[in-house]
Structure 1
């Protein structure tokens, strides 16, 4: 893989220019079409290819040129430019949060596809998501189409929205591009792509990327390392085409978790001297050799060595086949794909707030005396790994200590999926009908091994692990609360396997009643068949008398629980579109989405099984005049029933075993605006704005909590207002074209808890880029968060969702990355 990409890189600098600087893989279009936004061709959520202006739902199409101008740090960062999608892009290059129109889940039921099929059927695997966790943007992506609401539930499972990556296909003209990206955060990246003919009516495309990145936060080791390669062969038939594709991805990505930013003893005191707000992290070289102990089903103590620098290591291979043919009035489409891979996950999660060093020691003194005898006079800190020979004084620094949770996860997965559909347009006495009917099926599954354990650390960036040692009055060591920095060995231990089969049938009819008036409706029925098993675990003492760390370790009992489940779901949509003329129109739509329990319920012990439902209402107006456009969509989303339950971290046990069940509704009503104006040939202003009112409604609690104080509150971590504006100017100087662009973003106030006690304050950021294009060459410099603005996302969801953080503004969260720059050099031919 690496040799092939290196060869493509060499071709970038040696081959003669053949395309006059045109972006690789994109078919040349007439100038009028390039200028007109309404000429964007949409294939996602539609029976046939249509202009964006003609469809009756909210959709964006981001071309390679659009992405070049935006220059996103990650796929999530790219999605943040689209209205209606709230993004928390602070977790790193992958593993970020997306929410669609107030849907209160970490993915928002945003389903990713590649050429119309998912790489993995479910939205989440075992600590990997099939969205930006498996889909990485590179030069083999021709464009990304994002459908919000509309017919998304008809054309994908569990979809309130679809992000479809359309890959580059070869054509009769050889084209290519290579790109080098360097960043002041230790980023080195190479992208390359080549396409062209290899025979009569047969074409190829191949490309990918290699990347090494120290990271936006200083962990003491690289954050991202790896790459991917994608390739396809396409043969044009007399009435269609057939296309074979493959992909191999092997990539490590570090996960950034929340950090404490203020002293909980006095929230007005910043912890910035110890953990830099913009670059600090709890990730540390001290966590590169963590030993996880647990007892297996045979009663044998196992030791599992893990390295935090491995991060989230995703390896998978995908092969796909696509066919399309026109037979008189019939359009036949068939596509299939198979993915097989493995994911290893190592991350250090936030748990409780930092604690005063003396208070933490005092809270553990009684347990130490019970375990090691009444001669225990005091507890003191030492640096782990020094055999207690190096004392540690918290008061020489912040005076605080804290615990964090090391999570280790292994999973193997597979997913095969196929879709076959036929589309036919026919005339009736009451207009024209364009009917599409199809069948989709998938067989998929995974194995899982999950182990969590708690570590004791100092409060500073790249923290060292600590031991809390029991001393006698004479200074003799009598035992230790911890062991080699471990506060509690393996507090969570799960293992299981699940397999699934599903089949769906769907149909959609677009009825053109008269010129300008279209009515469409669709339905999708899905049936699932899950089977799996889970190993039972229980608390056990591993028997080491010198430490408390192994007193309540999880152990497999040898028992296995097998489960089966056969859920189903029914999705539907009805919409109407009326175009007053070729430039002005309006549409209305209602969609119903049912999301069945996911496959993981059959590889878990006593899971919560609940089907969630989302009803989306949309009313939009649209205007498009040459390069200028405006799309305004009012939306109303209702989740009923909505499961607001969560499992909170219990600091006494180190387990996520405090259940707080709230069942009711989640409501979001709002307006999203997407527009662009180009009053002058050299000036353009684009942007998107979303206003929403996300709130809880009609919640009920079965454990005695009063839902009255929650109903009507703002949904956790969801703002009422967010958006961005992106001005740009472009002007030629001789044979050189210069473009300068800006990006101003804002996110409104959010809350970390159900009761809206602790806020995540609003924030704004400024970014800019400048590019110079000369012939086939292009150089660009990009700067993000130029003002080093401060802003928090997420909070600390392990502990703060019920009671907040003990302060009006959050003192624990995932901050924005600091000011950073990237330098991009590319050549097209």
Structure 2
């Protein structure tokens, strides 16, 4: 922990010294000329009137208009966020081009894929006011995306950079989402907002910002929220909130700002559900698990006990409550200094985050199976364990001692397995960034040079225990026991243990600390007022140290059940992790404006991705093969008045890609052996977003992405042939996705009325490497309206108003070979129709 405080103190000292120097310079050079002020950034209450005037600070040495930058970027203001009324940060990001999202997991733990990169977060790196809240993209079962960045009225805007210089301004970043907080000004302003929804949704947001006197300003706000859930789990889905605050002091040549945040929130995770009977895929399971609000989450898992063996041989009990959900508690403090010293601009930022996660979730694993076949498969093992007198196996509701039989034939005729996961993580992350920027004239144009360094110390203490359960195939399923009966009908033993099919089937514990130092530099060369070149490079040095507690399989000795025969336990041995890595990222771009309304740009970037701290669980530490992403893009931009259009063609190559699937064996003539293949993922595409302001009250905005995401060049050193997957569409990546948002704005005296719609379309995707099981294309409609009169505003938002059927994800635990059917029958559906009423008042 000492290293954390050293870096935090270093960052704070850097900022304090810079601020002190600024004050001293102001006093000693009172006759010196004051540098020209930087452009003001629009606040939540002064949102830009058109996209042409948006000010961008992310991915750039200085503030710039969106039209002037040579990369794809969007700025979503608080007014935009209010109108879109997203369910989560991921849901909001999904309105942008080039980023495909699966926002069906709830408020957190959702999926983003950037321009075809085949990872669940897509190397979309989140920052808050230019610094991450946690160094890595993903912690151990938490992510620093929607997991740590929750929208509230303290969110002034979010700037999202896709490709471009993202690898220079953040680590492991193919894209950056920078959440910029509200700050105070000379005018006191405040807002209170209440939201209610027909899914048992209740939320209160509030913020206030204004002057404290003496060029000092404050802002404070946050939210409280309670939600029964979009799916009926039998307990609340979301409960908790957060508070954020900052104090900013303006100096003669810049500012210094101190920020703080505390988040304490519970969120239930929705996993995939079966929708059709695998014995006859034309038969729907909707009467057992409703497509729109059904879930495998169940009150039966409010008091879970996962038994495992510790290093001394003693039996330990890991308790769990599924209603706990994903419980995140963390605090963050940050300091931000900006100052001008003649031709030099100095930026210093420092932040410290400390928190903990307790995550309880019920993961879909195996597909449903015929209950009779499943029971008979355990008959031999039951006879071996409990005697040859066993004549049959049969079901009962768990915990009833076999006295409450369950006959699946009177129900769906199916049973299934699912996995309870209990995860605990204590984490910290400290980060600091110091840079200087200087603009100078040359014989050919001007150069704006920026050099900087970034450092981070972060770490995690991790524990996980997984347990497999046998359940009914229905919403809020009951746990099942599978008992062994003799000819007299007496129970002689159990395959299960109070519903558990495999006690502690997985067990992990360890601790890892990471250290990283980066040096970076950029140059923006304005050859003329129309022609610009820019380039940047970033080199990073990583060091990891830690350990994992090694495990083995044990029989816990309960002769009455088979569930504890192969239980993971700690051996007492420790696997040590020591790893050093380096990464080099670069970017180069050019921008040419034919006029103030028409421009174009080109860019090439390279991103190198190191390991993350969870590598400790891969013991012994495997050989590290660096992963690279090559990003190329070319864009055209048009902006005039209230209309704009940005079109970007892109090419992404992700290499190497590790994938496990069944390869063709020339010796047997069959594809029946699963192995690891090394290949590449390539995506070519075009993305566009724009807005057209029509005569009168009408306008239309939206985004569209057309791409060809595919696998290439799979090979293995085992002699198996993986070419069957070559050229296939990347798992869960569509070739087309878009959204269209028409709006009609009217004014009646002092009342403003805005009526708008939204249509989202996602094309066909696949669950597996061979594209044998499809996730069908879908489209969903939303409607909304806003009435504003003076300080009051009333908004109604309706999502998926036609109850459109849309499937995401599939069953990730078992879909490597497809689902055995052409169209998926297991996945995470869209939420059904839901409506929210939002009432707010501002001062």
TM normalised by structure 1 equals 0.94
- CA, structure 1 residues 717+522, in 2 after alignment: closer, same or farther (shift >3 Å)? same
In structure 1, what is the Cα distance between the partners aligned to 2:503 and 2:781?
Answer: 44
Shift of 1:27: 6.6
* Structure 2 residue 611 is the aligned partner of structure 1 residue 597: yes
Partner of 1:365: 379
1:641 to 646, 653, 656: 656
Look up the match of 2:43.
26
Q: Which residue of 1 aligns with 2:602?
A: 588
1:780 to 791, 795, 801: 795
Following superposition, the deviation at residue 610 of structure 1 comes to 3.0
1:127 matches 2:141:
yes
Measured in 1, the distance between the counterparts of 2:44 and 2:617 equals 47
CA contact (8 A) 1:25 1:175 kept: no
The answer (yes or no) to whether the contact 1:615–1:637 under 8 Å persists in 2 is yes
- Give the aligned partner of residue 790 of structure 1: 805
* SS in structure 1 of the partner of residue 745 of structure 2: strand
1:583-662 matched pairs, under 5 angstroms: 583-606=597-620, 608=622, 609-645=624-660, 660-662=675-677
Offset, 1:212: 0.5
Q: Give 1:28 shift.
A: 5.9
CA distance in 2, matches of 1:171, 1:568: 43
Contact 1:248 1:317 in 2 (8 A): yes
- Residue in structure 2 matched with residue 680 of structure 1 by the alignment: 695
Q: Helix, strand or coil for the counterpart of 2:377?
A: helix
CA distance in 1, matches of 2:488, 2:718: 50
In the TM superposition, 1:790-829 aligns within 5 A as 790-801=805-816, 803-829=817-843
Which residue does 1:157 correspond to in 2? 171
1:347: which partner in 2? Answer: 361
1:196-233 CA distances to partner (integer Å, 9 max, x unpaired)?
A: 11111000000000000011000000000000000000
Check 1:697–1:631 CA distance in 2 against 1; reply closer, same or farther (3 A cut).
same
SS at match of 1:460: coil
Deviations 1:653-683 (A, max 9, x none): xxxxx96412111000000011100012411
Q: Residue 86 of structure 2 aligns with which residue?
A: 72
Q: Are 1:147 and 2:161 counterparts? A: yes
Q: 1:534 to 1:659 in 2, by over 3 A?
A: farther
2:282 matched to 1:284?
A: no
1:107-158 C-alpha deviation (Å, 9 max, x unpaired): 0000000000000000011100111110001000100000000000000000
Residues 704 and 190 (structure 1), Cα distance of their counterparts in 2 relative to 1, 3 Å cut: farther
- Residues 79-107 of structure 1 deviation map (CA, whole Å, 9 limit, x = unaligned): 11000000000000000000000000000
Q: Mark the CA change 1:75 to 1:296 in structure 2 (over 3 Å): closer, same or farther.
A: same
Query: SS of 2:212's equivalent?
Result: strand
Say which SS state the counterpart of residue 382 (structure 2) adopts.
Answer: helix
Partner of 1:35, secondary structure, is coil
Residue 15 of structure 2 aligns with which residue? none
1:697 paired to 2:687? no
Equivalent position of 1:205 in the other structure: 219
Q: Following the alignment from structure 1 to structure 2, what is the Cα–Cα distance between the partners of residues 27 and 337?
A: 24
* Deviations 1:482-505 (CA, angstroms, capped at 9, x unpaired): 010000001110100000110000
8 A Cα contact 1:685 1:727, kept in partner: yes
Q: What does 1:694-733 correspond to in 2, within 5 Å?
A: 694-733=709-748
Matched, 1:545 2:562: no
In 1, distance between residues paired with 2:105 and 2:814? 18
The match for 1:381 is 395
User: How many Å apart are 1:303 and its aligned residue?
Assistant: 1.2
Q: Distance in 2 between matches of 1:28 and 1:259?
A: 43
Contact preservation (8 Å) 2:452, 2:520: yes
Runs of 5+ consecutive residues of structure 1 not aligned to the other structure: 1-23, 649-657
Distance 1:408 1:218 in 2: 21
Q: CA deviation at 1:599?
A: 1.7
Q: Indicate the SS of the match to 1:77.
A: helix
Q: Identify the residue that residue 460 of structure 2 maps to in structure 1.
A: 446
The corresponding residue for 1:301 is 315
SS of the residue 1:67 aligns to: helix
- Which residue number corresponds to residue 122 of structure 2? 108
Provide the C-alpha distance between the structure 1 equivalents of 2:242 and 2:748, rounded to a whole number of angstroms.
Answer: 37
Name the structure 1 match of 2:756.
741
Q: 2:280 aligns with which of 242, 256, 266?
A: 266
Q: Is the 8 A contact 2:42 2:48 kept in 1?
A: no
Q: Do the aligned partners of residues 341 and 27 (structure 1) sit closer, same or farther apart at CA in structure 2, a change above 3 Å counting?
A: closer
Counterpart mapping for 1:218-297 below 5 A: 218-297=232-311
Give distance in 1, aligned partners of 2:737 and 2:593.
Answer: 29
Query: Equivalent residue of 2:384, what SS?
Result: helix
Structure 2: where are the runs of 5+ without partners? 1-40, 664-672
Determine the structure 1 residue equivalent to 2:17: none
Query: 1:452-493 CA distances to partner (integer Å, 9 max, x unpaired)?
Result: 110000000000000001111111110000010000001110
Give 1:26 shift: 2.4
Distance of 2:754 and 2:206 partners within structure 1: 23
The one-character-per-residue Cα deviations of 1:9-33 (angstroms, maximum 9, x if unpaired) are xxxxxxxxxxxxxxx992765xxx8
The alignment status of 1:410 with 2:408, answered yes or no, reads no
Q: 1:669 aligns with which of 684, 695, 709?
A: 684
Q: Distance in 1 between matches of 2:753 and 2:627?
A: 50
- Matches of 1:374 and 1:704 in 2, distance apart? 45
Find the partner of 1:217 among 218, 231, 236.
231
CA contact (8 A) 1:563 1:603 kept: no
Shift of 1:605: 2.1
By how many angstroms is 1:234 displaced? 0.3
Q: Which residue of 2 aligns with 1:455?
A: 469
Q: Secondary structure at the match of 2:784?
A: strand
Rounded to whole Å, the distance in 1 between the matches of 2:389 and 2:403 is 21
Is 2:770 the counterpart of 1:755? yes
1:53 match: secondary structure: helix
In the aligned structure 2, how far is the partner of 1:384 from the partner of 1:659? 35
2: CA distance, partners of 1:731 / 1:640 = 51
Change (3 A) 1:287 1:93: same
Are 1:520 and 2:522 matched, yes or no? no
SS at 1:519 equivalent: strand
Measure how far apart 1:36 and its partner are: 2.5
Separation in 2 of the partners of 1:761 and 1:27? 39
Aligned runs of 1:329-340 on 2, under 5 Å?
A: 329-340=343-354
Conserved 8 A contact 1:672-1:689: yes
**CA distance in structure 2 between the partners assigned to 1:25 and 1:667 by the alignment:** 38
1:172 corresponds, among 155, 177, 186, to 186
Aligned residue pair count = 793
Q: CA RMSD in A?
A: 1.4
* 1:241–1:324 Cα contact (<8 Å) kept: yes
The whole-number CA distance in structure 2 between the counterparts of 1:348 and 1:646 is 25
TM-fit CA distance, 1:389: 1.2
TM (norm. structure 2) is 0.93
**Aligned match of 1:187:** 201
State the partner residue of 1:4: none
Q: What's 1:43 paired with?
A: 57
Give the whole-Å Cα distance in 2 for the aligned partners of 1:234 and 1:681. 42
Q: Distance in 2 between matches of 1:347 and 1:705?
A: 37
Look up the SS of the partner of 2:91 in the other structure.
helix
Secondary structure at the aligned position of 2:294 is classed as: coil
